[in-house]
């Protein structure tokens, strides 16, 4: 990336800077870069040329750790783009994170009004925004690609924008579900790979539900291959908690992880409702 503040096209006779366009997002990116440098994280990014220079796109990201959203923004900066992430309502309700999330123009997801959140995302895509989505919905405890929801595909079809698949590997070593965070200087290598754009069918070309399922299956298969590609060049010590069982680690298998998720869901439903669902806030 070029040093200094990038200049955008003239507006009203005056040059417009990214700082003027994104008065909160831009300095936060600078702060994030400083933190990542202090942590000594070593990023390997490939395929960032697939991030469109302009226009809307759904950025579909695998979910292995709580810091995924920070790392996912790195490839977008090649084209000086910002990603608007869909995040749970509880994050927006928090007195500290809420104002920041709104200032960054992220999209609030309210479980009781999911249709509204969906339409906000579609509207943002039509306006030319990049919208970040986790098709798995929650963190994969197996660190494999879990089953996908069809929301990302439906958005892409309705807004007529491409899906850009992205996988992140190594984020689970920094902070993931069920293990202590490691936010000090760990020098952890993190690989990010962006796949080629996937273009959706026209909304009138067949049944929306059927097309969304087919596109979702294609997306999952593509992301599985991208993940396998980045794992080839990554060192996986045997028995480590963050290494998938398939690669000799102690992480649960995909089936075991799904059983754990189902048990957690049942436990939350059985518990008395509280003002804030702490599991939702952290995940």
Q: Tell me: the pLDDT tens digits for 92-139?
A: 888 888 888 888 999 998 866 668 899 999 999 999 999 999 999 999
Number of Cβ within 10 Å of residue 44's Cβ equals 14
Give the whole-angstrom CA distance, residue 217 versus residue 254: 17
With tokens 């790392």, the residue in question is: 71
Rounded to an integer, what distance in angstroms lies between the CA atom of residue 271 and that of residue 94? 22
In the structure, what pLDDT confidence band is assigned to residue 281 with cuts at 50, 70 and 90?
A: very low
Q: How far apart are CA 58 and CA 38, in angstroms?
A: 31
Question: Tokens 């079809």 — which residue?
Answer: 157
In a domain, 5, yes or no: no
The confidence score (pLDDT) of residue 91 equals: 84
Cα distance between residue 28 and residue 37, in whole Å: 14
pLDDT at 21: 64
State which residues form the domain around 234. Answer: 21-282
Model confidence pLDDT, tens digit, residues 172-183: 999 999 999 999
**Strand (E) or helix (H) holding 39:** helix 25-39
50-67 pLDDT per residue, tens:
999 999 999 999 999 999
Structural domain includes residue 1: no
Tell me the average pLDDT across 180-207. Answer: 96
Burial of 253 per CB tally in 10 Å (0-12, 13-18, 19+): middle
Q: What is the mean pLDDT of residues 76-98?
A: 90
Is the pLDDT assigned to residue 13 strictly greater than 90? no
Domain count, the chain: 1
At residue 268 the predicted structure's pLDDT band, cuts being 50, 70 and 90, is confident
- Whether 11 maps to a domain, the answer reads no
6 within a domain of the structure (yes/no): no
Mean pLDDT of 3-30: 54
Task: Provide DSSP, 133-154.
Answer: E-TT-S--TTSS-----SHHHH
pLDDT top residue among 9 and 85: 85
CA 270 and chain centroid, separation: 29
Report the C-alpha gap between 179 and 190 in whole angstroms: 18
Both tokens assigned to 208 = 């929306």
- 179, part of any domain: yes
Does residue 240 lie in a domain region? Answer: yes
Average pLDDT across the chain, whole number: 88
pLDDT at 272: 61
- Residue 16 placed within a domain: no
What pLDDT, on a 0 to 100 scale, did the predictor assign at position 282? 39
């Amino acid at each position: 990336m070029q040093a200094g503040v990038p200049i955008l096209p003239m507006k009203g006779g005056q040059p417009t800077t990214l700082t003027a366009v994104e008065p909160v997002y831009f300095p936060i990116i600078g702060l994030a870069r400083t933190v990542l440098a202090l942590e000594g994280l070593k990023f390997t990014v490939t395929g960032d040329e697939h991030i469109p220079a302009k226009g809307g796109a759904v950025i579909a990201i695998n979910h292995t750790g709580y810091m995924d959203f920070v790392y996912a923004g790195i490839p977008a900066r090649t084209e000086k783009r910002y990603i608007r992430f869909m995040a749970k309502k509880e994050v927006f309700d928090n007195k500290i994170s809420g104002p920041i999330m709104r200032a960054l123009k992220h999209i609030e997801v309210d479980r009781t009004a999911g249709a509204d959140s969906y339409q906000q995302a579609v509207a943002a895509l039509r306006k030319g925004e990049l919208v970040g989505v986790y098709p798995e919905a929650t963190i994969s405890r197996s660190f494999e690609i879990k089953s996908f929801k069809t929301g990302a595909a439906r958005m892409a079809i309705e807004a007529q924008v491409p899906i850009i698949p992205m996988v992140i590997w190594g984020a689970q070593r920094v902070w993931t579900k069920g293990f202590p965070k490691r936010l000090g200087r760990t020098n952890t290598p993190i690989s990010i790979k962006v796949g080629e754009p996937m273009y959706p069918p026209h909304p009138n070309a067949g049944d929306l539900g059927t097309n969304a399922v087919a596109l979702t299956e294609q997306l999952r298969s593509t992301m599985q291959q991208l993940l396998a590609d980045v794992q080839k060049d990554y060192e996986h010590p045997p028995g480590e908690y963050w290494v998938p069982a398939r690669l000799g680690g102690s992480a649960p298998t995909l089936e075991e992880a799904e059983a754990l998720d189902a048990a957690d869901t049942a436990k939350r439903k059985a518990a008395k409702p509280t003002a804030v669902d702490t599991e939702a806030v952290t995940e």
